[in-house]
């Protein structure tokens, strides 16, 4: 079982320390989320009952790739992944250049978590078509793999048409694609194109069992083995080594955790609500859970 740190909503100045501590504590991957700006969105946020986002204009959303580059410089083994990067809100070559550079600078410690996004306003402001975002992502994933393979390539598709051309630098090893989302199109995209699937909410065992069943069915439909996809999901359980082993037996390869959300009153009183609390709860999680797996 891999342990991925869900560091979304952390203040920008905390990420370097969180990366150092996460590596020391045995976390596999540090994740951070992607948004371009805050506004009075008319697009409904799909993960709240009211449709309103869970953050406001003061919430930090640092650029994913700048932050990963900085964290890579102060670590040596920890991996990094956006959860998730809204790739179709950008043009293909911006994504290709940012991710390949981050992968090279980190020594190939980047996983690309991708999703289609929900916020139409971001697409409007970046000049990308919101309504074709899923189809463009389907074409973008293989196009990026071709670009990162090195050498001169060309692509003549429905949404992207270019070449011959090349980009540099490119990663020494393939960048894994983890597809986010639990809608049918997202799960099919993961089964068809992904190296992994990453959940976008906290799942009960019953909810996750349904997702796993769907993924296995789609993998079979696309001619892939059932175990040909890594599964990363945040679990609606109290952290416990035996529970994580049970989920591993179901085929879950990693879990997302943010230990400070479960800080005890004593920890909050002792450390406040800043980076010190995050560090203390990471260390406790490593001792009580990671070390026992």
Stretch 2-11: mean pLDDT, rounded? 95
Residue whose C-alpha is closest to residue 29's, from 72, 62, 61, 65 = 72
144-180 as b/e: b if 16+ CB within 10 A: beebbeeeebebeeebbeeeeeeeeebbeeebbbbbb
Domain containing residue 141: CATH number? 3.20.20.30
Q: What is the DSSP-derived secondary structure letter of residue 273?
A: T
Neighbours of 62 (CB within 10 A): 17
pLDDT beyond 90 at 46:
no
Strand ranges inside 99-188, DSSP E: 112-114, 153-156, 161-165, 177-180
Residue whose C-alpha is closest to residue 106's, from 189, 212, 30, 208 = 30
Is 72 within 8 Å of 47 (Cβ atoms)? no
Which residue blocks in 50-132 are alpha helix, DSSP H?
64-73, 92-105, 120-126
| pLDDT tens by residue, 101-146 | 999 999 999 999 999 999 999 999 999 999 999 999 999 999 999 9
Neighbours of 201 (CB within 10 A): 12
Q: How far apart are CA 116 and CA 200, in angstroms?
A: 12
pLDDT band at 173 (very low <50, low <70, confident <90, very high): very high
| pLDDT tens by residue, 254-278 | 999 999 999 999 999 999 999 999 9
Question: By CB neighbour count within 10 A (0-12 exposed, 13-18 middle, 19+ buried), where does 278 fall?
Answer: buried
Q: In total, how many domains does the chain have?
A: 1
Any residues with CB less than 8 A from the CB of 29 and at least 6 apart, and which? 2, 4, 5, 78, 79, 80, 81, 111, 254
| pLDDT tens by residue, 13-37 | 999 999 999 999 999 999 999 999 9
Residue whose C-alpha is closest to residue 253's, from 292, 197, 215 = 197
Domain housing 81: 2-292
Please give the C-alpha separations between residue 137 and each of 142, 203, 273, in angstroms, as whole numbers.
9, 25, 38
Is 54 within 8 Å of 261 (Cβ atoms)? no
| pLDDT tens by residue, 209-244 | 999 999 999 999 999 998 899 999 999 888 788 888
Stretch 192-219: mean pLDDT, rounded? 95
Is 178 within 8 Å of 111 (Cβ atoms)? yes
From the DSSP assignment, how many helices (H) and strands (E) are in the chain?
10, 10
Q: What is the dihedral of CA 268, 273, 276, 280, to 10 degrees?
A: 40
């Amino acid at each position: 079982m891999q342990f991925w740190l869900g560091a979304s909503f952390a203040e920008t100045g905390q990420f370097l320390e969180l990366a150092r501590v996460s590596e020391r504590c045995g976390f596999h991957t540090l994740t951070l989320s992607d948004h371009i700006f805050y506004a009075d969105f008319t697009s409904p946020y799909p993960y709240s009952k009211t449709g309103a986002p869970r953050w406001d204009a003061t919430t930090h959303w640092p650029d994913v790739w700048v932050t990963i580059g900085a964290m890579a410089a102060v670590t040596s083994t920890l991996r990094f992944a956006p959860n998730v990067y809204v790739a179709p809100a950008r043009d293909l070559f911006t994504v290709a250049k940012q991710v390949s550079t981050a992968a090279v600078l980190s020594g190939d410690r980047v996983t690309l978590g991708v999703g289609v996004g929900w916020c139409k306003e971001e697409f409007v402001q970046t000049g990308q078509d919101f309504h074709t975002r899923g189809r463009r992502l389907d074409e973008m994933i293989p196009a990026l793999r071709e670009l990162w393979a090195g050498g001169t390539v060309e692509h003549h598709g429905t949404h992207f048409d270019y070449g011959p051309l090349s980009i540099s630098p490119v990663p020494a090893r393939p960048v894994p694609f983890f597809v986010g989302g639990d809608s049918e199109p997202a799960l099919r995209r993961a089964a068809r194109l992904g190296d992994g699937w990453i959940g976008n909410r906290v799942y009960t065992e019953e909810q996750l069992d349904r997702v796993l069943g769907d993924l296995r069915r789609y993998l079979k439909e696309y001619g892939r083995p059932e175990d040909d996809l890594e599964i990363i999901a945040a679990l609606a359980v109290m952290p416990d080594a035996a529970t994580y082993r049970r989920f591993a037996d179901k085929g879950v390869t990693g879990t997302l955790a943010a230990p400070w959300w479960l800080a005890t009153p004593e920890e909050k009183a002792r450390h406040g609500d800043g980076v010190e609390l995050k560090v203390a709860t990471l260390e406790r999680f490593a001792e009580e859970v990671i070390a026992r797996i």
